[in-house]
Chains A and B, each alone.
Chain A
Amino acid sequence: MALLVKYSKFGSCIKHLFQMSPQFAAKYSVYPPHFGEPIYKKQELDKLLETGGIENFKLIPFKAAKSNETCSIFHDPVVSKFINYMLIKGQKKLARQVLEKTFEQIKKIQLAKYNKETDPEKKSSIIVDPVVILKKAITNCKPLLKLTPVKRGGSYYQVPVPITDKESTFYAMRWFVHCGREKDKSVSFADFMANEFIQASNNNGRVVKKKLDLHKQCESNRAYAHYRWS
């Protein structure tokens, strides 16, 4: 108990430090900064043991893993991130069920294609795993730049700016979610998104078009590139 009190006191005084340095995400800020991120995947742990990187983690305390982080083979960080982006009003269970239904639909469509195909070479190239298709779709939709408004001489210019990998992943996922929300009401989310994911994994579809539109806009605004700060 005394230890707990000590940590909580320490945590409150270290709070300002958290806000100052972007290196430590203040996600679960009850922990002091010397606490390490949890390694909850067995494969990652094995890799660390093999390479000897485990030595760095031996003597430091760890944060507890979040309740949705498991070592199950069905858990995937990209998928759980996507669920978090698509949920509304904290209805995580519903969001998860909807995405699972979408995966089922993807699998159905791809399996039908797989069984129809007679050419063995083409047959092996068809991806049946929905998670792989989701990841491929997201990587195909990642933008390279974004437009930010910069005020120069009293008017705002849309300036193309390079973005980080994390940010571009976020944009791609958000476009998928928005695409799903704009669909016609007569079609179910699962059917619609299954088609959308398969199309995006083949580098066409609405979301890929959205990315191309952004790139074209950036290209037409390339003259403003030196208006950027820093």
Chain B
Amino acid sequence: MRLNTVLNFRDMRRYTKNPLDVIFEELLPLKLKDKVSGKGDRSKERACVHEMSVMFACFKKNEFEQTQCSNEINKFQACANKHYADKYKRKKDLQEGNISLGKDNLTPREVNYLLKKYPNP
């Protein structure tokens, strides 16, 4: 990025009375960068929150009797176990530098890897 263009930017709206006369200035190059930031990686919804709330609703109905809610409890624990397994796998992949390509849902790391390999022309 050339900062000069941004710093010396003349707001054309000040110099022209007619808004149709505004000349377009290309301050930043009009193309996307070859990388993405990792901020969008973490999903807003935490894992197993829905299952937890269902379980709590059942608990409240049955005064915290676990035998009445065994179905909900099993679902919650299965979800938690799956979450832990996924997390462990992700960590393992990051450590070993494994990249699973050709999936629909790419992580920022995988996107960056692909963009570096095939940059924007």
Q: Is the interface of B mostly helix, strand, loop or mixed?
A: helix
Measured in the bound complex, the distance between the Cα atoms of B64 and A230 in whole Å is 27
Closest 8 CB pairs of A and B: A162-B80, A226-B46, A225-B49, A219-B56, A228-B46, A212-B64, A222-B56, A215-B64
- Chain A contacts of B80 at CB under 8 A? 162-164
- Chain A 190-230, CB-CB to B under 8 Å as 1, else 0, gives 00000000000000000000001001101100100110101
Q: Which one, B48, B59, B84, B95, contacts A219 given CB within 8 A?
A: B59
Whether B52 contacts A222 by the Cβ 8 Å rule is yes
Whether B84 contacts A164 by the Cβ 8 Å rule is yes
- Chain A 153-191, CB-CB to B under 8 Å as 1, else 0, gives 000000010111000000000000000000000000000
Measured in the bound complex, the distance between the Cα atoms of B95 and A219 in whole Å is 36
- Chain A contacts of B77 at CB under 8 A? 144, 162
Chain B residue at minimal CB-CB distance from A213:
B64
Whether B45 contacts A145 by the Cβ 8 Å rule is no
Whether B84 contacts A144 by the Cβ 8 Å rule is no
Measured in the bound complex, the distance between the Cα atoms of B56 and A228 in whole Å is 17
Q: Is A25 an interface residue (CB 8 A)?
A: no
Measured in the bound complex, the distance between the Cα atoms of B81 and A20 in whole Å is 21
Return 12 A-B CB contacts under 8 Å, by A number: A145-B52, A162-B77, A162-B79, A162-B83, A163-B80, A164-B81, A222-B53, A222-B56, A226-B44, A226-B46, A226-B49, A230-B47
- Chain A contacts of B64 at CB under 8 A? 212, 215-216
- Chain B 36-60, CB-CB to A under 8 Å as 1, else 0, gives 0000001011111100110110011
Number of B residues with CB within 8 Å of any CB on chain A: 25
Whether A162 contacts B48 by the Cβ 8 Å rule is yes
Measured in the bound complex, the distance between the Cα atoms of B83 and A164 in whole Å is 11
Number of A residues with CB within 8 Å of any CB on chain B: 18
Q: A26 CB to closest chain B CB, in angstroms?
A: 17
Q: B96 CB to closest chain A CB, in angstroms?
A: 10
Measured in the bound complex, the distance between the Cα atoms of B64 and A216 in whole Å is 8
Whether B53 contacts A226 by the Cβ 8 Å rule is no
- Chain B contacts of A226 at CB under 8 A? 44-46, 49
Measured in the bound complex, the distance between the Cα atoms of B42 and A189 in whole Å is 50
Chain B residue at minimal CB-CB distance from A20:
B95
Chain A residue at minimal CB-CB distance from B73:
A144
Chain A residue at minimal CB-CB distance from B88:
A22
Measured in the bound complex, the distance between the Cα atoms of B9 and A37 in whole Å is 69
Measured in the bound complex, the distance between the Cα atoms of B88 and A145 in whole Å is 19
Whether A225 contacts B52 by the Cβ 8 Å rule is yes
Measured in the bound complex, the distance between the Cα atoms of B59 and A212 in whole Å is 10
Whether A144 contacts B49 by the Cβ 8 Å rule is no
Chain B residue at minimal CB-CB distance from A215:
B64
Q: A162 CB to closest chain B CB, in angstroms?
A: 4
